[in-house]
Amino acid sequence: MSLNLLPRAFQASLRLGSASRVTINVPRWTRPYATPPAEQKNRTAIVTGSARGIGKAIALRLAQDGYDICVNDIPANRTGADDVVSEIKSLGRNAFPFMADVSNLQEVEKLVEASVSELGPLNTMVANAGIAQVKALLDLTEHDLKRMFEINVFGVFNCYSTAAKQMIKQGSGGKLLGAASIVAFKPFALLSHYSASKWAVRGMTQAFAMEMAEHRITVNAYAPGIVGTAMWELIDEELGKKRGAKKGDTIKKYTDELIALGRTSVPEDVSKTVSFLSSPDADYMTGQTIVIDGGIIFT
Protein backbone atom coordinates (compact mmCIF):
# COMPACT_ATOMS: atom_id res chain seq x y z
CA MET A 1 0.00 0.00 0.00
CA SER A 2 1.35 3.48 -0.88
CA LEU A 3 2.19 5.61 2.15
CA ASN A 4 0.30 8.50 0.55
CA LEU A 5 -2.94 6.53 0.73
CA LEU A 6 -2.79 6.27 4.55
CA PRO A 7 -4.29 8.90 6.91
CA ARG A 8 -1.82 11.69 7.80
CA ALA A 9 -1.80 10.81 11.51
CA PHE A 10 -0.88 7.22 10.73
CA GLN A 11 1.79 8.35 8.23
CA ALA A 12 3.31 10.47 10.98
CA SER A 13 3.37 7.58 13.43
CA LEU A 14 5.10 5.40 10.86
CA ARG A 15 7.74 8.03 10.29
CA LEU A 16 8.30 8.12 14.04
CA GLY A 17 8.76 4.37 14.04
CA SER A 18 5.72 3.41 16.15
CA ALA A 19 2.01 3.41 15.51
CA SER A 20 -0.54 4.31 18.16
CA ARG A 21 -2.27 1.30 19.64
CA VAL A 22 -5.84 0.95 18.34
CA THR A 23 -8.42 -0.34 20.81
CA ILE A 24 -11.53 -2.01 19.42
CA ASN A 25 -14.48 -2.39 21.76
CA VAL A 26 -16.17 -5.70 21.02
CA PRO A 27 -19.49 -6.42 22.77
CA ARG A 28 -19.22 -9.44 25.07
CA TRP A 29 -21.63 -11.77 26.80
CA THR A 30 -20.27 -11.74 30.30
CA ARG A 31 -22.63 -14.45 31.49
CA PRO A 32 -21.77 -18.11 30.78
CA TYR A 33 -24.64 -20.01 29.27
CA ALA A 34 -24.74 -23.00 31.61
CA THR A 35 -23.79 -21.36 34.89
CA PRO A 36 -26.96 -20.63 36.86
CA PRO A 37 -27.58 -17.18 38.32
CA ALA A 38 -26.45 -16.52 41.88
CA GLU A 39 -29.90 -17.09 43.31
CA GLN A 40 -30.07 -20.57 41.76
CA LYS A 41 -28.09 -23.02 43.84
CA ASN A 42 -27.88 -25.98 41.44
CA ARG A 43 -27.87 -26.63 37.72
CA THR A 44 -30.69 -28.79 36.41
CA ALA A 45 -31.07 -31.02 33.37
CA ILE A 46 -33.67 -33.15 31.68
CA VAL A 47 -32.32 -36.27 29.97
CA THR A 48 -34.85 -38.07 27.78
CA GLY A 49 -34.63 -41.80 27.22
CA SER A 50 -32.44 -42.11 30.30
CA ALA A 51 -33.71 -45.34 31.88
CA ARG A 52 -30.88 -47.27 30.22
CA GLY A 53 -28.03 -47.17 27.72
CA ILE A 54 -26.51 -43.87 26.62
CA GLY A 55 -29.24 -41.83 28.30
CA LYS A 56 -28.56 -43.48 31.65
CA ALA A 57 -24.82 -42.85 31.31
CA ILE A 58 -25.50 -39.19 30.48
CA ALA A 59 -27.83 -38.74 33.45
CA LEU A 60 -25.29 -40.24 35.84
CA ARG A 61 -22.38 -38.24 34.42
CA LEU A 62 -24.29 -34.94 34.64
CA ALA A 63 -25.20 -35.78 38.22
CA GLN A 64 -21.48 -36.27 38.93
CA ASP A 65 -20.93 -32.86 37.33
CA GLY A 66 -23.30 -31.26 39.83
CA TYR A 67 -26.62 -31.36 38.01
CA ASP A 68 -29.97 -32.31 39.51
CA ILE A 69 -31.67 -34.56 36.97
CA CYS A 70 -35.15 -35.21 35.64
CA VAL A 71 -34.94 -38.81 34.42
CA ASN A 72 -37.35 -39.28 31.52
CA ASP A 73 -38.45 -42.38 29.65
CA ILE A 74 -41.64 -44.09 28.51
CA PRO A 75 -43.93 -45.91 31.01
CA ALA A 76 -42.68 -49.33 29.90
CA ASN A 77 -39.23 -48.39 31.22
CA ARG A 78 -40.39 -47.03 34.58
CA THR A 79 -38.43 -49.57 36.64
CA GLY A 80 -35.18 -48.62 34.92
CA ALA A 81 -35.91 -44.92 35.42
CA ASP A 82 -36.51 -45.48 39.14
CA ASP A 83 -33.18 -47.31 39.38
CA VAL A 84 -31.35 -44.42 37.71
CA VAL A 85 -32.99 -41.96 40.11
CA SER A 86 -31.76 -44.04 43.05
CA GLU A 87 -28.22 -44.08 41.65
CA ILE A 88 -28.25 -40.31 41.20
CA LYS A 89 -29.47 -39.75 44.74
CA SER A 90 -26.68 -41.99 46.02
CA LEU A 91 -24.28 -39.48 44.42
CA GLY A 92 -25.77 -36.73 46.56
CA ARG A 93 -27.80 -35.07 43.80
CA ASN A 94 -31.54 -34.62 43.52
CA ALA A 95 -33.48 -36.53 40.87
CA PHE A 96 -36.96 -37.71 40.03
CA PRO A 97 -38.54 -39.81 37.26
CA PHE A 98 -41.09 -38.47 34.80
CA MET A 99 -42.69 -40.71 32.21
CA ALA A 100 -43.44 -39.03 28.88
CA ASP A 101 -43.37 -39.91 25.18
CA VAL A 102 -41.20 -37.30 23.45
CA SER A 103 -43.21 -37.65 20.23
CA ASN A 104 -46.19 -36.10 22.04
CA LEU A 105 -45.75 -32.34 22.42
CA GLN A 106 -48.22 -32.03 25.29
CA GLU A 107 -46.37 -34.70 27.25
CA VAL A 108 -43.05 -32.91 26.67
CA GLU A 109 -44.59 -29.66 27.89
CA LYS A 110 -45.70 -31.43 31.08
CA LEU A 111 -42.20 -32.93 31.38
CA VAL A 112 -40.54 -29.51 31.34
CA GLU A 113 -43.15 -28.07 33.68
CA ALA A 114 -42.61 -30.91 36.16
CA SER A 115 -38.83 -30.53 36.04
CA VAL A 116 -38.98 -26.80 36.77
CA SER A 117 -41.48 -27.37 39.58
CA GLU A 118 -39.44 -30.16 41.18
CA LEU A 119 -35.85 -29.05 40.56
CA GLY A 120 -35.93 -25.35 39.72
CA PRO A 121 -35.06 -23.36 36.56
CA LEU A 122 -34.02 -25.50 33.60
CA ASN A 123 -30.42 -25.12 32.45
CA THR A 124 -29.89 -28.06 30.06
CA MET A 125 -32.14 -30.22 27.90
CA VAL A 126 -30.64 -33.44 26.53
CA ALA A 127 -32.95 -34.78 23.81
CA ASN A 128 -31.51 -38.27 23.86
CA ALA A 129 -34.52 -40.55 23.28
CA GLY A 130 -34.60 -42.38 19.96
CA ILE A 131 -35.35 -45.64 18.17
CA ALA A 132 -33.76 -47.66 15.39
CA GLN A 133 -35.06 -50.21 12.89
CA VAL A 134 -33.24 -52.45 10.42
CA LYS A 135 -35.19 -52.74 7.19
CA ALA A 136 -34.54 -52.58 3.46
CA LEU A 137 -35.65 -49.37 1.77
CA LEU A 138 -38.20 -51.03 -0.50
CA ASP A 139 -39.70 -52.92 2.43
CA LEU A 140 -40.39 -49.79 4.46
CA THR A 141 -44.01 -49.00 5.18
CA GLU A 142 -45.55 -45.60 5.70
CA HIS A 143 -45.93 -46.50 9.37
CA ASP A 144 -42.21 -47.39 9.67
CA LEU A 145 -41.17 -44.02 8.28
CA LYS A 146 -43.73 -42.08 10.28
CA ARG A 147 -42.85 -43.69 13.60
CA MET A 148 -39.11 -43.20 13.06
CA PHE A 149 -39.57 -39.49 12.42
CA GLU A 150 -42.16 -39.02 15.17
CA ILE A 151 -39.64 -40.08 17.82
CA ASN A 152 -36.23 -39.22 16.38
CA VAL A 153 -37.13 -35.91 14.71
CA PHE A 154 -40.42 -34.63 16.14
CA GLY A 155 -39.20 -35.79 19.56
CA VAL A 156 -36.05 -33.69 19.32
CA PHE A 157 -38.03 -30.72 18.01
CA ASN A 158 -40.53 -31.01 20.86
CA CYS A 159 -37.71 -31.10 23.42
CA TYR A 160 -35.69 -28.29 21.84
CA SER A 161 -38.64 -25.95 21.34
CA THR A 162 -40.32 -26.54 24.72
CA ALA A 163 -37.06 -26.24 26.66
CA ALA A 164 -36.06 -23.14 24.67
CA LYS A 165 -39.33 -21.39 25.51
CA GLN A 166 -38.75 -22.14 29.20
CA MET A 167 -35.16 -20.88 29.04
CA ILE A 168 -36.23 -17.70 27.25
CA LYS A 169 -38.87 -17.17 29.91
CA GLN A 170 -36.20 -17.57 32.61
CA GLY A 171 -33.94 -15.11 30.78
CA SER A 172 -30.70 -16.80 31.79
CA GLY A 173 -29.71 -18.74 28.66
CA GLY A 174 -29.16 -22.48 28.58
CA LYS A 175 -28.06 -25.49 26.58
CA LEU A 176 -29.94 -27.74 24.19
CA LEU A 177 -28.32 -31.03 23.21
CA GLY A 178 -29.63 -33.65 20.78
CA ALA A 179 -28.77 -37.22 19.89
CA ALA A 180 -27.52 -37.56 16.33
CA SER A 181 -25.36 -40.45 15.07
CA ILE A 182 -22.52 -41.24 12.70
CA VAL A 183 -25.29 -42.01 10.18
CA ALA A 184 -26.02 -38.27 10.21
CA PHE A 185 -22.78 -38.03 8.18
CA LYS A 186 -22.70 -41.35 6.32
CA PRO A 187 -25.84 -43.52 6.11
CA PHE A 188 -25.71 -47.27 6.67
CA ALA A 189 -27.45 -49.72 4.35
CA LEU A 190 -30.65 -51.20 5.86
CA LEU A 191 -30.78 -48.22 8.23
CA SER A 192 -32.03 -45.72 5.66
CA HIS A 193 -34.91 -44.10 7.55
CA TYR A 194 -32.91 -44.11 10.79
CA SER A 195 -30.06 -42.40 8.92
CA ALA A 196 -32.43 -39.84 7.41
CA SER A 197 -33.88 -39.05 10.85
CA LYS A 198 -30.42 -38.38 12.25
CA TRP A 199 -29.52 -36.15 9.29
CA ALA A 200 -32.65 -34.19 10.22
CA VAL A 201 -31.47 -33.88 13.83
CA ARG A 202 -28.16 -32.50 12.63
CA GLY A 203 -29.88 -29.94 10.41
CA MET A 204 -32.41 -28.97 13.06
CA THR A 205 -29.60 -28.47 15.56
CA GLN A 206 -27.92 -26.00 13.22
CA ALA A 207 -31.19 -24.15 12.59
CA PHE A 208 -32.00 -23.90 16.29
CA ALA A 209 -28.46 -22.70 16.99
CA MET A 210 -28.92 -19.75 14.63
CA GLU A 211 -32.26 -18.67 16.08
CA MET A 212 -31.49 -19.31 19.76
CA ALA A 213 -28.16 -17.45 19.81
CA GLU A 214 -29.82 -14.12 20.60
CA HIS A 215 -31.28 -15.73 23.72
CA ARG A 216 -27.87 -17.00 24.88
CA ILE A 217 -28.93 -20.59 24.28
CA THR A 218 -26.40 -22.87 22.61
CA VAL A 219 -27.56 -25.88 20.61
CA ASN A 220 -25.29 -28.82 19.79
CA ALA A 221 -25.63 -32.52 19.02
CA TYR A 222 -23.55 -35.59 19.77
CA ALA A 223 -23.07 -38.39 17.23
CA PRO A 224 -22.23 -41.80 18.71
CA GLY A 225 -20.87 -44.63 16.59
CA ILE A 226 -21.28 -48.33 17.32
CA VAL A 227 -22.16 -48.51 20.99
CA GLY A 228 -22.70 -51.59 23.13
CA THR A 229 -26.35 -50.84 23.96
CA ALA A 230 -29.70 -52.56 23.50
CA MET A 231 -30.23 -50.54 20.31
CA TRP A 232 -27.04 -51.82 18.69
CA GLU A 233 -27.73 -55.35 19.91
CA LEU A 234 -31.01 -55.14 17.97
CA ILE A 235 -29.22 -53.77 14.89
CA ASP A 236 -26.64 -56.55 15.13
CA GLU A 237 -29.33 -59.21 15.44
CA GLU A 238 -31.44 -57.93 12.55
CA LEU A 239 -28.48 -57.39 10.22
CA GLY A 240 -27.30 -60.88 11.13
CA LYS A 241 -30.64 -62.38 10.10
CA LYS A 242 -30.44 -60.70 6.71
CA ARG A 243 -26.82 -61.68 6.11
CA GLY A 244 -26.76 -65.10 7.73
CA ALA A 245 -24.41 -64.02 10.53
CA LYS A 246 -24.49 -65.17 14.12
CA LYS A 247 -25.43 -62.79 16.91
CA GLY A 248 -22.46 -60.57 17.71
CA ASP A 249 -20.67 -61.21 14.42
CA THR A 250 -21.90 -58.03 12.70
CA ILE A 251 -20.78 -55.71 15.49
CA LYS A 252 -17.45 -57.53 15.64
CA LYS A 253 -17.02 -57.18 11.87
CA TYR A 254 -17.85 -53.47 11.99
CA THR A 255 -15.52 -52.98 14.95
CA ASP A 256 -12.63 -54.79 13.29
CA GLU A 257 -13.05 -53.19 9.87
CA LEU A 258 -14.41 -49.70 10.58
CA ILE A 259 -13.28 -48.45 13.99
CA ALA A 260 -9.76 -47.04 13.99
CA LEU A 261 -9.38 -47.50 17.75
CA GLY A 262 -10.36 -51.14 17.43
CA ARG A 263 -13.06 -51.42 20.07
CA THR A 264 -16.80 -50.99 20.33
CA SER A 265 -17.89 -47.87 22.17
CA VAL A 266 -19.48 -47.90 25.61
CA PRO A 267 -22.14 -45.41 26.80
CA GLU A 268 -19.61 -43.63 29.00
CA ASP A 269 -17.61 -42.64 25.90
CA VAL A 270 -20.63 -40.61 24.81
CA SER A 271 -21.52 -39.24 28.24
CA LYS A 272 -18.05 -37.70 28.58
CA THR A 273 -18.64 -35.63 25.44
CA VAL A 274 -22.12 -34.61 26.60
CA SER A 275 -20.56 -33.58 29.91
CA PHE A 276 -18.23 -31.25 28.02
CA LEU A 277 -21.00 -29.82 25.85
CA SER A 278 -23.06 -29.17 28.99
CA SER A 279 -20.23 -27.37 30.76
CA PRO A 280 -19.05 -23.75 30.65
CA ASP A 281 -16.03 -25.00 28.68
CA ALA A 282 -18.30 -25.36 25.63
CA ASP A 283 -20.00 -21.97 25.98
CA TYR A 284 -18.55 -20.73 22.67
CA MET A 285 -19.74 -23.75 20.69
CA THR A 286 -23.08 -23.84 18.94
CA GLY A 287 -24.57 -25.55 15.88
CA GLN A 288 -22.05 -28.39 16.04
CA THR A 289 -22.55 -32.14 15.82
CA ILE A 290 -19.66 -33.85 17.60
CA VAL A 291 -18.75 -37.37 16.47
CA ILE A 292 -17.71 -39.92 19.13
CA ASP A 293 -17.15 -43.13 17.17
CA GLY A 294 -13.56 -44.25 17.73
CA GLY A 295 -12.57 -43.23 14.22
CA ILE A 296 -15.21 -44.33 11.70
CA ILE A 297 -16.18 -40.93 10.36
CA PHE A 298 -13.56 -38.21 10.06
CA THR A 299 -14.93 -34.65 9.92
Sheet with 289-292: strands ordered across: 95-99, 67-73, 43-47, 124-127, 174-179, 217-224, 289-292
Q: Which of 194, 222, 254, 284 is catalytic?
A: 194
Query: Which alpha helices (H) appear in the chain, and where do they start and end?
Result: 8-16, 53-64, 78-90, 105-119, 142-149, 155-170, 192-212, 230-243, 249-258, 267-278
| Contact criterion met (CB below 8 Å) for 258 and 245 | no
Pairing of strands 43-47, 289-292: unpaired
Biggest alpha carbon distance in the chain? 81
Is 194 a known active-site residue?
A: yes
Distance CA 169, CA 116 (A): 12
Distance CA 271, CA 273 (A): 5
263: Cβ–Cβ under 8 A, 6 or more apart, which residues? Answer: 255, 294
Q: At what angle do helices 249-258 and 230-243 cross, to 10 degrees?
A: 100
Catalytic residues: 194
